Amino acid sequence: AAGRVVSRRETLLMITWRRHAPMPCTFARRMLHVVQGQGIPVSSSVSWVHCRGLSRKRHKSSTSSALASGQELASLHVPVMPDEVLDLWLPKGATVQETLRKKHLVDGTIGLGGHTSAMIKLAGQRSTPVKILGLDRDGDALSLAHERIQSDCLQDAMRVEFHRGSFADISPGLLEQQGFPSNGVDGIFIDLGMNSLQIDDSSRGFTFRRKGPLDMRFDRISTKSRARDVVNGYSAKELAFIFREHSDEPLSEEIAAYIVKWRKEKFGRRQQRKPNDGIRTTLELRYAIEEAVEQAMMAKGGGVGKSSDPAFKKFRQIWHHSNGRTLPQAKKTKYMKQFEERRLRHPNPVMRVFQALRIEVNSEIDQIAMLLQGSAPTTCLGIGGRLVVLAFHPGEDDLVRQEMARLVECGTHKLLTPEVDGVRPTQKEIKFNGRSRTARLRAIERIR
């Protein structure tokens, strides 16, 4: 492909190959540059697939240092259900006067600015003047969102005001302080998911695929409790409760009991651990969960297939102090590398436990309840204003559904989305962006 013009069909085939088979980073980078150099338009989906593949090889301890420009940021982070969100957040006016009226919008979780950037572009196409207030608990995300919006929207970036805080803080006082009407906002959008860079940045502790500290805090200044404090400080009963309530984990009691046992084990000097030092990293927690699931399944007469994995057997010899001293350091390094590179066969229990810890650390359920039971849906929204919520977890979605149903029963709001299932992403989007597979979109409109 390097010496000739690449057709659109060949480009699609190469990108499809990149998504389903491993390919060296150098070739992937060269492929994208060749395609761009031949004058073929490269969509954000192509760039995102390319950068997502490279992110596995290029681990950065700092999120901001992993990005060189707002364009790279736009390709790394793909907003979920953007078309559906924009249609509900900023509906097209029934009349020309309504379309041209200035709109005041609030993005309660601006993240990396994906939905806000798309909103500014849509408003420009419709000639609708907008002013947007973007909030986020993550200071790093606010800085990156500002960079992205400046890169994507240029002069229109002045339409966005940034404020560090939670969406639960939305109130007439905050709106008035930021120069917005305290009782006339036209739309509030809340994205309860995580941005891609929070997941990919191992130093934040959200991912279980790479080693990092057990942190998981969105706001690393105001939030004092970390995931490490929860894992090592909660009792087995308390851990089982949050695993069951926040992530519907069927093996919550078995995993909680094994975590408590794991954190109390004594390790040898070669592991540089002290007795009762607890679980300190994301990989340690992942290994504890995997072994807990394996033992639970074996006890029930099943099995998760790990016993046939030679790398896993060697890993168990490395980790447990009883046999760890019998292996030379070179073999330890070799087997640990093999173990890290093998595909994670049963991610669901690990994903659910990490999700439950993240929800517990950041008090996400309480934040959602404060938003929906506070003044945001009523006082802050003007007549005809809309509250749009994008949820990814069943517990969060159930709370959103119940609170929206309560507001509808009161006669102050009307429901804009299906009552039971909400709006789900299309199969095309799920195939393109796998992180959208659990998303549910719900919206209500204030009528009086």
362-383: average pLDDT: 92
User: What per-residue confidence (pLDDT) applies to 327?
Assistant: 58
Share of the chain above pLDDT 70, in %: 69
b/e code 191-215 from CB counts within 10 Å (16+ = b): bbbbbbbbebbbebbbbbbeebebb
Say yes or no to pLDDT of 234 above 90: yes
Spatial strand order of the sheet with 440-446 comes to 160-164, 130-136, 103-107, 185-191, 381-391, 440-446, 413-415
Query: How do residues 297-312 score in pLDDT, each as one tens digit?
Result: 777 655 444 444 444 4
Output the CA–CA distances (angstroms, integers) from residue 235 to 13, 111, 339, in the order listed. Answer: 52, 33, 30
> Residue 130 — φ and ψ, nearest 5°?
-130, 155
Say yes or no to pLDDT of 258 above 70: yes
The DSSP H or E segment spanning 384 is strand 381-391
How far is residue 181's CA from residue 269's CA, in Å, rounded to a whole number?
62
pTM attached to this predicted model: 0.72
What beta strand segments (E) does 49-159 contain?
103-107, 130-136
133-157: average pLDDT: 84
b/e code 259-286 from CB counts within 10 Å (16+ = b): bbebbeeeeeeeeebeeeebbebbbbbb
Answer yes or no: are the C-beta atoms of 99 and 70 closer than 8 Å.
no
User: What per-residue confidence (pLDDT) applies to 248?
Assistant: 81
Handedness of CA 6, 7, 11, 16 (dihedral sign): negative
Q: Give me the torsion for CA of 386, 387, 392, 398, rounded to 10°.
A: -110
- Report the 10 Å Cβ neighbour count for 224: 9
Answer yes or no: are the C-beta atoms of 443 and 86 closer than 8 Å.
no
Query: How do residues 61-72 score in pLDDT, each as one tens digit?
Result: 334 343 434 455
* More confident site: 307 or 189: 189
How far is residue 273's CA from residue 267's CA, in Å, rounded to a whole number?
6
User: What per-residue confidence (pLDDT) applies to 274?
Assistant: 54
User: What per-residue confidence (pLDDT) applies to 367?
Assistant: 94
Location of structure tokens 């088979």: 21
Burial of 430 (0-12, 13-18, 19+ CB in 10 A): middle
Read off the pLDDT band of 222 (50, 70, 90).
confident
Mean pLDDT of the chain: 76
Query: How do residues 342-355 score in pLDDT, each as one tens digit?
Result: 433 334 789 889 99
98-109: average pLDDT: 88
- Report the 10 Å Cβ neighbour count for 322: 8
How far is residue 279's CA from residue 214's CA, in Å, rounded to a whole number?
8
Burial of 8 (0-12, 13-18, 19+ CB in 10 A): exposed
User: What per-residue confidence (pLDDT) applies to 1?
Assistant: 39
Say yes or no to pLDDT of 447 above 90: yes
> Residue 140 — φ and ψ, nearest 5°?
-65, -40
Read off the pLDDT band of 436 (50, 70, 90).
confident
Share of the chain above pLDDT 90, in %: 36
Say yes or no to pLDDT of 243 above 90: yes
Handedness of CA 239, 244, 246, 248 (dihedral sign): positive
Least confident of 77-81, 94-98, 288-292, 299-303: 299-303
192-215: average pLDDT: 86
Say yes or no to pLDDT of 44 above 90: no
Least confident of 181-195, 292-306, 350-364: 292-306
How far is residue 33's CA from residue 315's CA, in Å, rounded to a whole number?
40
Size (the chain), residues: 448
Amino acid at the residue 19: R
How far is residue 56's CA from residue 72's CA, in Å, rounded to a whole number?
16
User: What per-residue confidence (pLDDT) applies to 47?
Assistant: 38
How far is residue 255's CA from residue 266's CA, in Å, rounded to a whole number?
19
268-279: average pLDDT: 54
**CA nearest neighbour of 179 among 133, 215, 147:** 133
408-430: average pLDDT: 92
Read off the pLDDT band of 296 (50, 70, 90).
confident
Say yes or no to pLDDT of 359 above 60: yes
The DSSP H or E segment spanning 430 is helix 427-432
> Residue 394 — φ and ψ, nearest 5°?
-55, -40
Strands 381-391 and 130-136: unpaired
Amino acid at the residue 222: S
Answer yes or no: are the C-beta atoms of 15 and 51 closer than 8 Å.
no
How far is residue 131's CA from residue 179's CA, in Å, rounded to a whole number?
10
User: What per-residue confidence (pLDDT) applies to 22?
Assistant: 40
How far is residue 419's CA from residue 417's CA, in Å, rounded to a whole number?
6
